[in-house]
A and B are shown apart, each in its own frame.
Chain A
Amino acid sequence: MSSATKTDIEPPAVLKKVKPAPWSEAPLVLNKRSFGWVTEKICNVVERKTPTWWWWCFIIALCVASFTGMGLVYLVSTGVGVWGNNNPVNWGWAIVNFVFWIGIGHAGTLISAVLCLLKQKWRTSINRASEAMTVFAVLCAGIFPLFHVGRVWFGWWLFPIPNSNAIWPQFRSPLEWDVFAVSTYATVSILFWYMGMIPDLAVIRDRAKVKWRKIVYGIFSMGWRHANNHWRNFEMAYLILAGLSTPLVLSVHTIVSFDFAVANLPGWHTTIFPPYFVAGAIFSGFGMVLTLLLPLRSVFGLHDLITQKHIDNMCKIIIATGSLVGYAYSMEFFIAWYGANSYEGFAFINRAFGNYWWSYWIMISCNVISPQLFWFRKIRENTPLVWIISIFVNIGMWFERFVIANTTLSRDFLPSSWGYYSPSIVDIFTFAGTFGFFSVLFLLFLRFLPLMPMAEVKMVMPQADPHGGKH
């Protein structure tokens, strides 16, 4: 690499003969920054005095989050009736939001785990933040399946706990599977996230001037001491967790998709759901990552660490997954037509042209059309535009879940029981609140935790090479 070519050590004789093709990959850290600079840059975010903008954002986020709180209190005290659900449409926004948030989570795990296995070095500067996103998104998601039930106070019946009624959960139900999938997902994400943070916490601990910082970071860094032996086990554990998270992340949305695929309703009962949901999840996840990181990048001036290359890569993943999702949409229609089941056929015609046609076309335009813009370098390089499109992706993916859940339920088998669903004000506020809740958590993360894994960033810098850049 550029820095490596500068070193005055003679390359071995072999290379003289081979003449390797000139290696021109954009560097992952620009302007030949030093380790010190990286450490300074990242720790500074945590160490410097709390900026006023942070306080403003935090307070606003807190207010928004309170919507969820109030919504849930009202819900539990009064009954599910305060939501818009009705008889044909027994699942309204609650489940839509659940699937939406879970989906958001996926990018984090994907970046930190899958890309790690694929040895994608560029992941290093973005994985910490996206893992944080995963954890917080899953927390937001968890709220809905828990509170959408009629008697929350009996929620514990879903867990296999011995009781004096001598009766157990029913393990054939996708909802029961969700309990295991989601709780596992949350736990493993947190473990992975925390373990990755230990060395960085140690760094902050070592730099800390104030007593309480020393103690708090000291406790959480577990007495890490950058010893090679530590690194050895750490790296192994990290690799294994990555290896575990990869099948996990795929299974979670597969199982979430079972909530629909296992049911027998036209438009739900399809085998295409698992892959299609996973693709959608990654799609929306990367949308969210961009939505979060682009502002961070400019606020903290991380342009050298989150480079155009990163943005390009993410945009490309969005094109790919977006197209996958688009393919799934068209394939659903094909199967519905090819299967020649009149109920199935109608379900899809109804999706596109029936009482919820608008939601369908919002979904198509946001998920299938808008990402295609990323084919053009100009657009990928126009950061504000990328940010806007990433938001479209999020909107689109929320509507995808809405379309799947509601169009099918509102018009299923017997025309006599057809109905229409529209959310109540409580629905809307409860959902809006979760964004506040998410922001609160994310802001706290920015303020107190290293938003990039310093060690990993350093590893991909030329200085890290023990052979002084000899390839």
Chain B
Amino acid sequence: MIRENSEQIPEDSPEPGMKYWKSLDALAETPGFQDWIQDEFPQGASMLQGFERRGFMKIMAASFGLAGLGMTGCRRPEQTIMPYGKSPEELIPGVPNYYATSMPSPHGNIPLVVESHSGRPTKIEGNPSYLPFGGSTDVYAQASVLDLYDPDRARESFRKKENQEGDLSWASVNTNTLIAEVSEWTKDGNFAILADRSFSLARTKLSSELKDKGVQFFEYEAIDLARPEKLLSKGLRLDSDGLRVIPNLGKVKRALSLDCDFLGSREPFTLANTRSFMGGRKVTSPGDAKKMNRLYSVESDMTLTGGVADHRLRLDPSQTPAFAFLLAAEVISVRKGDQTLTKRLKELGKAAEIHREWITPCVADLCSKPSQSIVLAGSHLPEEVHVAVFLINQSLGAIGKTINYLPTNDSYEGISELIEKIEANEIENLLFVGGNPVFLTDSFVDWDRIRKKLKKVARFGYSLDETSEFSDLHIAQSHYLESWDLSRTWDQESIVPVQPLIAPLFDTVSDLELLLSLVGSSLTAHDFVKSMHSELEGSKLFDDFLRLGVLSANPSFHSSPIALNDYFDKTKIQENSVGADNLDLLLIPDFHVWDGRFINNGWMHECPNPMTKLTWDNAILISPLLGKKLQKENPGIGLIPEPTMLNKQNQIAPDNANFADGRQKAPVVLVKFGNRSIEGPLYVQPGLADYTIVSSLGMGRRKTGRVGEGAGYDASTILDQNGNRMVSGAKILKIAKNWTYKKLANVQEHWSMEGRAIIREANVDYYSKKEDFAQHMGAESHSPPMWGKDENKSLAHKSQKTPRGNSSYEHPDHNYENSDTPGRHQWGMAIDLTQCTGCSACVVACQSENNIPIVGKDQVMRGREMHWVRLDRYFSSAEREGDEIPSDVQVSFQSISCMHCETAPCESVCPVNATVHDEEGLNAMAYNRCVGTRYCANNCPYKVRRFNFFDWNKRQTDELYKGPLGKKNDEISSMGKNPDVTVRMRGVMEKCTYCVQRIQEAKIQVKVNAQRAARHSSGKDGSDIEIDNSDLKVPDGTILPACSQVCPSDGVAFGDLSDPESRVSKLKNDPRNYSVLGYLNTRPRTTYLAKIRNPNDKMPDFAKKPHSYREYHDKAYPTHHGEGHGEKKETKSTNGKGSH
């Protein structure tokens, strides 16, 4: 905002000499650019206007007089791009365009619609035309746009130079020359390519062509999500290369997950799973509560799936097979399956007999709805388990109903074959395409030896990393938003395009372009894709394909039943038992960086891990039991804080980590397994299996950009060439004589709700008895009605007419009715807590839409993170000792952002009118009026206001304390900013605006259209046409705030409260609807729908009430303490207020 004025650069000033601006001016001469001016973009010059006025447009002005054109121009790719249906035909300056494309990911391409402001991609959205995802995206897709503007990406290609001292430096080279050089290698037969996994049809085609040319093609993916499908088809002795599990959870009533985080980020297809499965948990009346699905989760880690689960069993991964076998045995016997097989499986599952009382009722429940049940196994589990699970689903009759098995046929050779061939001197020249194998496989490949055996090594990658350092040449890769490709989704239901929104910012090429030139084709990537598309069955116009963004293919699923009575005969019964000195070690892809590919992405680093709430780091997760043990054995470790008086008195729960000045002080330990080991900070994670250590891959990179430097620890040593991610027999050791510590940036110090009625939960049976239980919780259930005499009026009436406050003086209506400018809408939001899995996509979506700055680890540790959406995570447990950290926990998520209270406490304390209400019920925040007293933030009971303590948008995060002397941010990062949202300067407050920019745009559009329509109909000069309010109302569902648009389970509803038909109004009239801290009479416009759990009363861990409800009850009515599960309390709270 004001930033701009401070550094406004006059048009005639010389360009600031940023390398890439120069290169742009050069690029401005390129044909495509010129073409584009001629054909595509007549009023290009006027772009300047639109841009220069936004904070981030300074740079344009800085480049030559027409930077605006120069920039926007060469941002545009050579070929015409067909806009998605939503967008106007031609590009109008200041009006964003939307283009359909897709994001390559390790689990298929994610269909996207990308918002582009005059050639600059700014915001990623899901493509609703792809039904399984229904327009939702995951956190990675949201963050991927930031990588495009990553200052540390490879801006050109490089040749390695090594001087006498042996320290290497990079000499920049023109990319095409390098490609030419590499394509020379293809001539002789000893050339190999090691590529990352891709679902690209184009690449498959090209790789086969390369194979024909004698080039050997290998693929490697550290977290290989295709592994289970290979194991399964091997186990089932099928002739297809793989048998892929495609769950169809919409129909599921009973689900059991065997260490399978199918709702979390580490398994494939989670967007579809979340959408369909959470769809089965939608509740609008006690009626459907009965139909609600039920989830059993048997897991070692505390996953998001476990958070959703109605019953959760903590089980160490090494014990899972036994459990699976016993489970299979049970199911098959109940379903009257093969006796001998059952017997055999029983033997194998002996070790799991201790869980008998859990398994029996669970199986009974699964089999009660056989064809509506499903069992899923985690991708890290061994072959036998996948086969066993197949048998279970088969005998449940789930196959073809709730689960489909898709035969896949893409065989490829892996890294071990590559190594063998190199050892055997069959390969001399190697090219890495994407990925980062040298880093990930360091533990089982002796790269130094390999290097000696190789003549020439080239690397095609997005940024200089470990693999580049291993190679002589680095060829710069384009971002997927700069590339053409033709690819598939995980379920192979759809074929999707990857089309560029922007010509390569720098001297880079896409993988497709690289391979094309390697096969010696003269086609451009675009033409190649176009030609491939034309060959596809059912393909019509290429332009339509691009416009729609998906082309459905009909994959054929595996259907024939398979009998494997003898399969388990050679499976041996493993007897290994776990213990403190024999821990199981589970490796998962890191939430922040997946397998390291997002290592330089600030949004991902700063988006808190939903379970641990850690940012900028990963930790070695251990169970509370193990934690207590360690603490007891080594008092000096300081892993768990000494119980305070308040803990002992059961006033508040003990923290699960030591916090020194808000910084988590975590002891760094050595975890030894066999001859390998990892070293990292410990973190006590409630809900973890007692003897399991969970560790994540991708952090602790040795060579990264500035952002990822020093983030986390490296756990890649756990990997082996078979892609196993489980190890047994691990031990925790001290690294040095005294304990060393690492400071972790944890954004939520306290894990307990302390019995406060913040998240309100009930079980199905209680809910069906007492629909409005949520209204009988919290202090407001004892207070006089919030709406005074209007308590029973309609929502629409309340939202417009009920004056705020109740004093005798004249109050403004909500909608300013007595003013000249009455509000036409009354905006509000309803969030269904039952639907939230904690995927955190909303956090990053909001960050991307609203130009929310990254503050860096140090500032997060100081409690200054800027996220407008805060995803609160609470654990609750059965009754526990005051100072005990529970092991078996229920997890509840709640996304908190500005509630737009009708009687907002923040407003009345602002001395300068910087935050006031508008006539449509928005709590407006005028940044340019704010002086920064921070009083509003203090007085906000929800603590949703964020203060710009520094010039986050201007200074580098490590230079903040140098003030004016600190280095400025690389301007490229500001190119991705949303021009419709002010870039805030230091010293001002900010917070969620309900995406007011989207609201205003929609309102303006509606008005303009109404006016034009009316005029055309009248045909006169327009002074006589009539336009009434209804014409000017925005139709429900037109406006989607970023958080609600991204949500995979449609948990966030936004709309007009004055319209009783709007979705949000309907939800707010649901009896489950309640306001957080309602008793303060802040009248928040964002309200929550209480969470419903669906436990099975036959299960051993069944509790009549959710733990959080019990905690609330015990705190609120100490006299009935301990009746949490009792019948008596039932009656107590049913007769509502007054009785207490």
Report A's interface with B, CB cutoff 8 A: 74, 77-82, 84-91, 148-151, 154-155, 157-158, 165, 167-170, 172-176, 179, 259, 262-265, 341-343, 346, 349-350, 353-354, 409, 412-420, 422
Q: Which residue of B lies closest to A419 (CB)?
A: B863
Contact of A169 among B896, B912, B934, B1077 (CB under 8 A): B912
Q: Are the CB atoms of B864 and A87 closer together than 8 Å?
A: yes
How far is B962's CA from A414's CA once the two chains are assembled, in angstroms?
34
Contact of A413 among B916, B941, B962 (CB under 8 A): B941
Inter-chain contacts of A77 with B (CB < 8 A)? 963-964
Inter-chain contacts of B951 with A (CB < 8 A)? 79
Inter-chain contacts of A172 with B (CB < 8 A)? 908-909
Contact of B947 among A74, A150, A409 (CB under 8 A): A150
Inter-chain contacts of A422 with B (CB < 8 A)? 661
List B978-1000 residues whose CB lies under 8 Å from chain A: 986-989
B910 at the interface (CB under 8 A from A): yes
Given contacts A86-B662, A175-B935, A353-B646, contact A170 B911 (CB under 8 A): yes
Q: Which residue of B lies closest to A176 (CB)?
A: B911
B948 at the interface (CB under 8 A from A): yes
Inter-chain contacts of A354 with B (CB < 8 A)? 644, 646
Q: Are the CB atoms of A88 and B943 closer together than 8 Å?
A: yes
Q: Which residue of B lies closest to A91 (CB)?
A: B938
Inter-chain contacts of B947 with A (CB < 8 A)? 80, 87, 90, 150
Given contacts A81-B949, A264-B1080, A414-B943, contact A151 B662 (CB under 8 A): no
B484 at the interface (CB under 8 A from A): no
B905 at the interface (CB under 8 A from A): yes
Chain A contact residues, majority secondary structure: loop
Known: A91-B934, A265-B939. 18 other contacts (CB 8 A): A78-B950, A79-B960, A81-B862, A150-B934, A150-B947, A150-B986, A151-B987, A157-B912, A167-B913, A170-B908, A170-B912, A173-B910, A173-B935, A263-B938, A264-B905, A414-B1076, A416-B870, A417-B943
Q: Are the CB atoms of B865 and A413 closer together than 8 Å?
A: no
Given contacts A85-B949, A419-B863, contact A155 B931 (CB under 8 A): yes
Contact of A414 among B896, B916, B986 (CB under 8 A): B896
Closest CB-CB distance, B708 to chain A, in whole Å?
23
Given contacts A87-B946, A150-B986, contact A420 B662 (CB under 8 A): yes
Q: Which residue of B lies closest to A92 (CB)?
A: B934
B932 at the interface (CB under 8 A from A): yes
Q: Which of B14-22, B277-285, B339-347, B746-754 faces chain A?
A: B746-754
Inter-chain contacts of A412 with B (CB < 8 A)? 941, 943
Closest CB-CB distance, B1117 to chain A, in whole Å?
11
Inter-chain contacts of A346 with B (CB < 8 A)? 651-652, 754
How far is B913's CA from A176's CA once the two chains are assembled, in angstroms?
11
Contact of A265 among B934, B938, B960, B962 (CB under 8 A): B938
Given contacts A150-B947, A157-B931, A419-B749, contact A263 B911 (CB under 8 A): no
Inter-chain contacts of A85 with B (CB < 8 A)? 934, 949
Q: Are the CB atoms of B779 and A341 closer together than 8 Å?
A: yes
Inter-chain contacts of B260 with A (CB < 8 A)? none
How far is B608's CA from A417's CA once the two chains are assembled, in angstroms?
14
Given contacts A81-B949, A173-B910, A420-B659, contact A149 B964 (CB under 8 A): no
Inter-chain contacts of A149 with B (CB < 8 A)? 931-933, 987
Question: Of B870, B905, B912, B1080, which is in contact with the most chain A CB atoms at under 10 Å from its CB?
Answer: B912
Given contacts A90-B947, A264-B1080, contact A74 B963 (CB under 8 A): yes
B352 at the interface (CB under 8 A from A): no
5 contacts between A and B (CB under 8 A): A81-B864, A87-B946, A353-B649, A417-B942, A420-B749
B961 at the interface (CB under 8 A from A): yes
Inter-chain contacts of A259 with B (CB < 8 A)? 935
Q: Which residue of A lies closest to B987 (CB)?
A: A150
Q: Are the CB atoms of A87 and B937 closer together than 8 Å?
A: yes
Closest CB-CB distance, A400 to chain B, in whole Å?
18
Contact with A along B748-789 (1 / 0, CB 8 A): 111011111010000000000000000000010000000000
Q: Are the CB atoms of B911 and A179 closer together than 8 Å?
A: yes
How far is B929's CA from A86's CA once the two chains are assembled, in angstroms?
22
Closest CB-CB distance, B891 to chain A, in whole Å?
13
Q: Which residue of B lies closest to A262 (CB)?
A: B909
Inter-chain contacts of B896 with A (CB < 8 A)? 414, 416
Q: Are the CB atoms of A79 and B911 closer together than 8 Å?
A: no
Closest CB-CB distance, A254 to chain B, in whole Å?
17
Inter-chain contacts of B870 with A (CB < 8 A)? 416-417
B553 at the interface (CB under 8 A from A): no
Q: Which residue of A lies closest to B928 (CB)?
A: A165
Given contacts A150-B934, A350-B646, contact A82 B961 (CB under 8 A): yes
B678 at the interface (CB under 8 A from A): no
Q: Are the CB atoms of B646 and A158 closer together than 8 Å?
A: no
Q: Which residue of A lies closest to B651 (CB)?
A: A349
Report B's interface with A, CB cutoff 8 A: 644-646, 649, 651-652, 659, 661-662, 748-750, 752-756, 758, 779, 859, 862-865, 870, 872-874, 894, 896, 905, 908-913, 916, 929-935, 937-939, 941-943, 946-951, 960-964, 986-989, 1076-1077, 1080, 1115-1116
Given contacts A151-B931, A151-B988, A414-B943, contact A81 B950 (CB under 8 A): yes
Q: Are the CB atoms of A416 and B750 closer together than 8 Å?
A: yes
Given contacts A170-B913, A176-B911, A265-B941, contact A79 B987 (CB under 8 A): yes
Q: Which residue of A lies closest to B613 (CB)?
A: A416
Question: Of A264, A341, A346, A422, which is in contact with the most chain B CB atoms at under 10 Å from its CB?
Answer: A264
Q: Are the CB atoms of A415 and B941 closer together than 8 Å?
A: no
How far is B908's CA from A329's CA once the two chains are assembled, in angstroms?
28
Inter-chain contacts of B986 with A (CB < 8 A)? 79-81, 150-151
Inter-chain contacts of A413 with B (CB < 8 A)? 756, 941-943, 1077
How far is B337's CA from A16's CA once the two chains are assembled, in angstroms?
127
How far is B156's CA from A273's CA once the two chains are assembled, in angstroms?
65
Inter-chain contacts of B864 with A (CB < 8 A)? 81, 86-87
Contact of B753 among A78, A79, A415 (CB under 8 A): A415
Inter-chain contacts of B938 with A (CB < 8 A)? 90-91, 263, 265, 409
Q: Which 3 pairs of residues, A with B, have the shortest CB-CB distance?
A: A150-B932, A150-B987, A78-B963
Inter-chain contacts of A414 with B (CB < 8 A)? 756, 758, 872, 896, 941-943, 1076-1077
How far is B874's CA from A264's CA once the two chains are assembled, in angstroms?
24
Inter-chain contacts of A179 with B (CB < 8 A)? 911
How far is B906's CA from A262's CA once the two chains are assembled, in angstroms?
11
Inter-chain contacts of A157 with B (CB < 8 A)? 912, 929, 931
Inter-chain contacts of A420 with B (CB < 8 A)? 659, 661-662, 749, 863
Contact of B662 among A91, A154, A353, A419 (CB under 8 A): A419
Contact of A342 among B644, B661, B937, B1116 (CB under 8 A): B1116
Given contacts A74-B963, A342-B756, A414-B896, contact A174 B941 (CB under 8 A): no
Given contacts A169-B913, A413-B941, contact A80 B987 (CB under 8 A): yes
Inter-chain contacts of B756 with A (CB < 8 A)? 342-343, 413-415
Closest CB-CB distance, B757 to chain A, in whole Å?
9
Q: Are the CB atoms of B963 and A168 closer together than 8 Å?
A: no
How far is B865's CA from A417's CA once the two chains are assembled, in angstroms?
11
Closest CB-CB distance, B562 to chain A, in whole Å?
49
Given contacts A150-B948, A342-B1115, contact A415 B750 (CB under 8 A): yes
How far is B987's CA from A223's CA once the two chains are assembled, in angstroms?
50
How far is B935's CA from A26's CA once the two chains are assembled, in angstroms?
52
Q: Are the CB atoms of A79 and B909 closer together than 8 Å?
A: no
Closest CB-CB distance, B927 to chain A, in whole Å?
10
Q: Are the CB atoms of B908 and A150 closer together than 8 Å?
A: no
Inter-chain contacts of A81 with B (CB < 8 A)? 859, 862, 864, 949-950, 960-961, 986
How far is B960's CA from A79's CA once the two chains are assembled, in angstroms?
9
Q: Are the CB atoms of B931 and A167 closer together than 8 Å?
A: no
Closest CB-CB distance, A179 to chain B, in whole Å?
7
Given contacts A346-B651, A419-B662, contact A151 B753 (CB under 8 A): no
How far is B859's CA from A425's CA once the two chains are assembled, in angstroms?
16
Contact of B950 among A79, A88, A415 (CB under 8 A): A79
How far is B989's CA from A455's CA once the two chains are assembled, in angstroms?
54
